[in-house]
Amino acid sequence: MVSTTNLKTTKSEEIFDAAQKLMPGGVSSPVRAFKSVGGQPIVFDRVKGAYIWDVDGNQYIDYVGTWGPAICGHAHPEVISALHDALEKGTSFGAPSVLENVMAEMVIDAVPSIEMVRFVNSGTEACMAVLRLMRAFTGRDKLIKFEGCYHGHADMFLVKAGSGVATLGLPDSPGVPKSVTSNTLTAPFNDLEAVKALFAENPDQIAGVILEPVVGNAGFIPPDAGFLEGLRLITQENGALLVFDEVMTGFRIAYGGAQEKFGITPDLTTLGKIIGGGLPVGAYGGRRDIMSMVAPAGPMYQAGTLSGNPLAMTAGIKTLELLQKPGTYEQLDKITKKLANGLLQIARETGNAACGGYISAMFGMFFTAGPVHNYEDAKKSDLSKFSRFHRGMLERGIYLAPSQFEAGFTSLAHTDSDIDRTLSAARDVMSSL
C-alpha cells in the first residue's frame, strides 16, 4: 500500500503521454483525464476486491468502483467463474437467450416501477430510448430535467448537465443543434416551485420529468424531504410521466433502488452499471401499458445488436444474486457511514469547510460549508482545495473520483481496515490544505 507522498508513476506518465497522440485527451471518457484535479491520471493494470494496481505496481484503495458497477468488489470470484462458463458458449448471440429472461425477472421482481424491461448497452442508450418512449406515449415533445443531473451524452440531455460536462466547465456541447435542445426545460434540483412554473408555462406540452433521484453526477446530492413526492403529484396532475434515472442508484442505495428507498414509484426507470456486473449494459422499463409501445410490440422503434449480450447478462445475474444475500445492505451502510462521517469529522477538526453525506453504498463530500441542495450550491465548492485533497489522497494510496462533481462508491469488499487507512490519509492531507 502506498503510504508516502513520493508516488512513482513513471510508466503511467509514459503511457498517458502516448495515449494523448492516439485518443482525444488520451482517454475514452473525459473525467478520466484528471483535467479538474491536475496532474496525469494513473494507468490501471489490474483490479481485485477493493483495490487497484497501476502499471507502476502501486496499490490503491478504490472508491470509484468503475464508476459504480463494482458493488461486490472488483473481479468477484463468483462473477468471474460464471463469465468463464459463459465464454465457452460464445460472446454474442444477437438472438434471444434464456439469460435475458432470468435477468428480466430479477429486475422486475426488484424494481417497483418495472413491469416490463428492455435491455440496451449503456446508460446513455437507455435514457435516449426512454425519452423517445415518453414522447411516443404522451404525444408531447417537451422534457424537464434538472441542472447538474446527467443522463448520458445524447444531444437532448446536454443542457446544464453534470458529470464530465460540469468538470470541464462546459455549459453545453458544440455540435448540439439548438433545435434539438429547444424542447429540454431545466429546473434546479429540489425546487418544486420551479417545476410547477414550467408546467404552467407549457400546458399540455411536457411529456415528463427525468431525474437522478439521488444526484451523483454533480456530486452526492440527496432529495429534500417531500421533493420526490411532489414530483410524483405534479406529473400525475399534468398527465406527464415521471422517470427515475437509476443507472447509478439502482441496486446501490437499496436492492430496489431509490424508488424502494424513498417509497416513490415512477412511471419509467433507467438502469445500468450494477445490472451488468462490470460489463457494458443498460436497461429501461416501467408500466406495461407504456412499455407495450416499444417495437416489436408497438410502434416506437429501438434496437441494438449487442442488447441482452450473454456475458453482460451472466455477470449481472450473478451480481444480483450476491446482493440478495442476508445482511448485504446493512454491511454496505455500516462501512459507508464510517467513511462519510469520518471524512466530515476530520474536515471539521482540521478547519476545512465541508458538507456531505451518504446513502447505503454511495457518498460524497463538498469543500463548502453548504448545505448543498442543488448544482448551484455544489458549484460554491473550493475546487482548488478539492484538487489538492485528491492529489494528496492519491499519493497516499487512496483513489477517489477525479472531480468534485462525482459521487463516491463503496463495495462489499471494503473492510474496516480500508476505511481506517483512508481516514488516516484524509487527516494527514486535510491538515495541510
What's the CA gap between 272 and 196, in Å, rounded? 30
Distances (CA, A) of 158 to 95, 178, 378: 33, 11, 18
- pLDDT per residue as tens digits for the range 96-130: 999 999 999 999 999 999 999 999 999 999 999 99
List every span in the chain annotated with CATH 3.40.640.10: 77-323
What's the CA gap between 235 and 227, in Å, rounded? 12
> Of residues 142, 145, 273, 338, which has the active-site annotation?
273
| pLDDT score of 41 more than 80 | yes
> Of residues 150, 284, 329, 358, which has the active-site annotation?
150
Q: Which alpha helices (H) appear in 141-256, and where do they start and end?
A: 163-167, 178-181, 192-201, 227-237
pLDDT at 160: 63
Three-state SS for 410? coil
Look up the CATH superfamily of 10-63+327-430.
Aspartate Aminotransferase, domain 1 (3.90.1150.10)
pLDDT at 171: 40
150 catalytic per annotation: yes
At 416, the amino acid letter reads D
What are the start-end ranges of the E strands in 309-430?
Answer: 355-359, 362-366, 398-399, 408-409
> Of residues 56, 191, 245, 418, which has the active-site annotation?
245
- CATH architecture of the domain with range 77-323: 3-Layer(aba) Sandwich (3.40)
What's the CA gap between 341 and 356, in Å, rounded? 9
Is the pTM higher than 0.75? The answer reads yes
380 catalytic per annotation: no
Cα 123 → chain centroid:
9
pLDDT class of 2 with cuts at 50, 70, 90: very low
- The two counts, helices (H) then strands (E), for the chain are 15, 14
Grid coordinates given for 53: 494496481
Contact status, residue 231 vs residue 194, Cβ threshold 8 Å: no
Distances (CA, A) of 270 to 35, 131, 205, 338: 29, 10, 22, 30
Q: Decide the pairing of beta strands 268-272 and 241-245.
A: parallel
Partnered with residue 250 across adjacent β-strands are 254
Could you tell me which residues come within 8 angstroms of residue 12 by beta carbon, excluding any fewer than 6 positions away? 40, 41, 42, 43, 54, 55, 56
Contact status, residue 97 vs residue 264, Cβ threshold 8 Å: no
List every span in the chain annotated with CATH 3.90.1150.10: 10-63+327-430
- pLDDT per residue as tens digits for the range 335-379: 999 999 999 999 999 999 999 999 999 999 999 999 999 999 999
At 356, the amino acid letter reads G
